Structure 1
Amino acid sequence: MVPISKRTLRRATDEDRRQYDAASAALALGLSDGTLELPRDAIEAEGWSDDRLVSYGYRYWTDLFNDRQLLHLAILMKEIRALEEPVRSAIAMAFSDHLTTNCMMASYAHGWRRLTPLFSLRAFRHIQRPVELNPWIERTGRGGFPNTIRKLEQAAAYARAPKEPAGNGEFVSVDTISATRKGAVHLGSARELTFLANSSVDVVMTDPPYFDNIAYSELAQFFAPWLKALGIIADLDRAEVTDESLVACKHQPDSVQKFTSGLGEAFQEMARVLRPRGIVAFSYRHTEASAWHALAEAIATTDLHVTRVLPMPGEVGMGLHGQGIRGLWDAIFILRPGRRAPITKLTVRPDDISDADQAVVDWRERYGMLAIPFNDIDAVALRRAFLVGRALPKTKRSNQKYAISLEDALR
């Protein structure tokens, strides 16, 4: 094992090229004689919010891999297909995780001195110098197939013997709780929770789409051809997926309205299934005022009201996401059902604005010295989050004579 401090880059040798050519020939032979198969799904990016893949010249999802990677994946896929359930589905999950570190969109993070997988940034980035790893390396290295299997083993071990963090930074074992009924996972739209009865849920915890920040439905298409080839998922209706996806284009009013109404339908379903003393908790983040107004409009279609808004460090505090000046904190919203008055217009009062400014000052004093800095972008975003909360109270407030539209206050 070579210490990281002594690792260097070397030029490819004739032997390296020979080995790659041999892998390429083996792949071609396997595909021609039918012993190997690969998905041949085209990249259908029409209507996407991000057309970089087709702009780069990619036409099929397999174009994102070189021949040696495709040979490895084809052989691995053949072996996974031969497994019995439920093992096959579990190993296919590891295979799916393995794809992001074994493609030509994996780069090298010089600061960390390790491979950076696709979607470290939530986008299809063109990589000028892709990194290819040994997919069978164990323990060390990032993204080797044995390591993706180990993740599943660790998750299963935790489920059998769970632990919780203690106040001293350590973890303590806790007793497992026997389920009173069988758990279930449903695949579908949050706008149609028809499998849940009215007033049947105590807590809803969700991570709604952040306006135009990340088009998850587009990024997820990367995995679909492989999971279809393994028989894990059915063929997806692309038009249906696009229609169900909530992604706003801020310069297109129709797109913003579709996002707002769709998010409102999801919140309406949450309100329907929530018990009278239940809560909804979710995080949100954006730099644009219009994104916060869309969130407020969506919630306003329900009887939910905001009881608390709090800052929480987001997932982008480290690595590639932490480069440059950008927001690093999310706003956490706590909602409860039972708002007593319909909202015909979203407004705030002058004292709400001063309270929002003071809340940001207090938060900066309390959290500003943590490892993840509380910067000016965070201050603006969290001020807007506070105002959204004040615009969605439980009861109609008096002194509306000097009310300011929420849209204006957010700007």
Structure 2
Amino acid sequence: CKYEVEWHKISLFFGLHAYHPIERPTENNVWGTRYGRCTFVKCFEKVRRAKGFAQRPYERLVDARGSRFSKRTGTERIEAYLTESFSQLKKHDNASLLKCQSSEDLSFLPNKSVDAVITDPPYFDNVQYSELADFFYVWLRLALKDEYLWFKPDLSSRPDEIVKNDRPGKTTDFFSQGLFRVFKECHRVLKDEGLLIFTFHHIRTWAWENIAQVLIDAGFYVSASPIVRSEGKSGFHSNDGNIRYDCVLVCRKRSGQWMERPWASAKEQILQDAVQWTRRTLESGMLVNEVDVFTIVMGKTLEYCTKVFPYMFFDNNTVSISNAMEEMKNFVDHVAENARGIQKPLPKAYAQSAEQLLLFLKESETRYRNQRSR
């Protein structure tokens, strides 16, 4: 833990997704203190509340006045018992099949047997999961290494972990090829009408481009790309300038031939959708910054690129995914510069969308300043 001088209490050691040097490390009172976070008592209370929710599930809703309330979902309970095979899984309600292994091999599932794959793959080089896990792994290993084979190694890192990490030589190609193998297996086990759903965000266009290409190569297209808040308002990653929203990529199997579409028409639709989602976000009471707008625009660009690839043209020339992503990034950069007071003429062809996004960014900045001044 660390000590927060401003708040006079202890706080998270891993508030950031990285090993971050701490000026005031603090040894936690295991059994609990009245203030602060991460004590045993408070962690236990979280588990207790979670178990209570599982026994009596509810939805958090918002009424017409904007007030939140809870609504029970009926007599349903969130519970399951473990089975050992897919055949057993199909025979029973409320059953589950747990496999601690890479999704590159789903051979225990028959072809076209799954309705939906809902997952959260690594975001290239955003978080080095095994390196962060080693902080906890080395302690758990002492008690578990004689009982579980996967606790035998000194560290948790694995040579086949699908991340981009330059230090051990895991390149972008390494990540993309590994993710392709996972998605290809997902394609095999999904029913024809099945869905692959995962969240994604990244600050670089090359990451979005690679995700688009992996999906296409694995036989998918993105049918929808809604935006959801992924970081809590009080989290370290919610600071201005950080990515605070995830793009939920809803993917379906590609089939048949796709109609050609002019890039200008696709770009116009991308920007209209981006304006709509940015407006909805602001109307929900949330704020957006230029990085959030970038995420929204990239998600919509990825959606349309995977829908029509490779039949997207400009002046009889094919528009590549890379060129499409880069052009949309430049558009967002242009709008963001104007929002920061750097006056540049907005693109004439898409002036209305640019002006709306610019107004949204300015409105959000005004709200943010007003909140800070209270």
Give the TM-score, by structure 2 length: 0.72
SS at match of 1:367: helix
Match of 1:123 in 2: 18
Match of 1:213 in 2: 126
CA distance in 1, matches of 2:155, 2:256: 39
CA distance in 1, matches of 2:152, 2:211: 28
CA distance in 1, matches of 2:165, 2:157: 17
CA distance in 2, matches of 1:394, 1:109: 51
Native 8 Å contact 1:201 1:275 kept in 2: yes
- Is the alpha carbon distance of 1:306 and 1:284 closer, same or farther for their aligned partners in structure 2, counting shifts above 3 Å? same
CA distance in 2, matches of 1:394, 1:238: 48
Q: Offset at 1:152?
A: 2.5
CA distance in 2, matches of 1:121, 1:213: 11
Highest Rg: 1 or 2?
A: 1
Q: Which amino acid aligns with 1:193?
A: L
Q: Which amino acid aligns with 1:374?
A: V
Give me the identity figure in percent: 25
Native 8 Å contact 1:287 1:377 kept in 2: yes
Match of 1:158 in 2: 53
CA distance in 2, matches of 1:139, 1:379: 40
Match of 1:222 in 2: 135
Match of 1:45 in 2: none
Q: Which amino acid aligns with 2:252?
A: R
Match of 2:205 in 1: 289
- Aligned residue pairs total 302
CA distance in 2, matches of 1:294, 1:321: 24
For 1:314-393, list aligned pairs within 5 A.
314-315=230-231, 317-340=233-256, 349-393=263-307
- Is the alpha carbon distance of 1:144 and 1:390 closer, same or farther for their aligned partners in structure 2, counting shifts above 3 Å? same
Native 8 Å contact 1:249 1:255 kept in 2: yes
Native 8 Å contact 1:306 1:394 kept in 2: no
Match of 1:312 in 2: 228
SS at match of 1:384: helix
SS at match of 1:271: helix
> Is residue 112 of structure 2 the alignment partner of residue 199 of structure 1?
yes
Post-superposition Cα deviations, 1:318-354, rounded to whole Å, max 9, x if no partner, equal 3321224222211111111243359xxxx98232223
Native 8 Å contact 1:348 1:390 kept in 2: no
Match of 1:302 in 2: 218
Native 8 Å contact 2:270 2:297 kept in 1: yes
Consecutive unaligned residues of structure 2, counting only runs of 5 or more, are: 81-91, 327-374
Q: Which amino acid aligns with 1:172?
A: K
SS at match of 1:306: strand
Native 8 Å contact 1:313 1:329 kept in 2: yes
- Is the alpha carbon distance of 1:382 and 1:211 closer, same or farther for their aligned partners in structure 2, counting shifts above 3 Å? same
Q: Which amino acid aligns with 1:410?
A: M
Q: Offset at 1:285?
A: 0.5
- Is the alpha carbon distance of 1:296 and 1:140 closer, same or farther for their aligned partners in structure 2, counting shifts above 3 Å? same
> Is residue 11 of structure 2 the alignment partner of residue 107 of structure 1?
no
Match of 1:170 among 69, 89, 92: 69
- Is the alpha carbon distance of 1:136 and 1:249 closer, same or farther for their aligned partners in structure 2, counting shifts above 3 Å? closer
Q: Which amino acid aligns with 2:298?
A: R
CA distance in 2, matches of 1:393, 1:319: 35
- Is the alpha carbon distance of 1:410 and 1:149 closer, same or farther for their aligned partners in structure 2, counting shifts above 3 Å? same
Post-superposition Cα deviations, 1:190-229, rounded to whole Å, max 9, x if no partner, equal 2112222211111111111111111112111222122222
CA distance in 2, matches of 1:226, 1:249: 24
CA distance in 1, matches of 2:16, 2:4: 12
> Is residue 43 of structure 2 the alignment partner of residue 148 of structure 1?
yes
Post-superposition Cα deviations, 1:87-136, rounded to whole Å, max 9, x if no partner, equal xxxxxxxxxxxxxxxxxxx2234555532222211111111111233211
Native 8 Å contact 1:305 1:335 kept in 2: yes
> Is residue 48 of structure 2 the alignment partner of residue 135 of structure 1?
no
SS at match of 1:318: coil
CA distance in 1, matches of 2:306, 2:100: 30
Higher strand share: 2
- Is the alpha carbon distance of 1:138 and 1:285 closer, same or farther for their aligned partners in structure 2, counting shifts above 3 Å? same
Match of 1:274 in 2: 190
For 1:1-150, list aligned pairs within 5 A.
106-110=1-5, 113-137=8-32, 140-150=35-45
SS at match of 1:243: coil
Q: Offset at 1:160?
A: 2.3
Match of 1:6 in 2: none
SS at match of 2:197: strand
Post-superposition Cα deviations, 1:27-59, rounded to whole Å, max 9, x if no partner, equal xxxxxxxxxxxxxxxxxxxxxxxxxxxxxxxxx
Give the TM-score, by structure 1 length: 0.66
CA distance in 2, matches of 1:362, 1:156: 38
Native 8 Å contact 1:326 1:377 kept in 2: yes
CA distance in 2, matches of 1:372, 1:193: 39
Match of 2:362 in 1: none
CA distance in 2, matches of 1:253, 1:405: 28
Q: Offset at 1:188?
A: 0.9
CA distance in 2, matches of 1:251, 1:222: 18
CA distance in 1, matches of 2:109, 2:310: 30
Deviates most, 230-239 or 219-228: 230-239
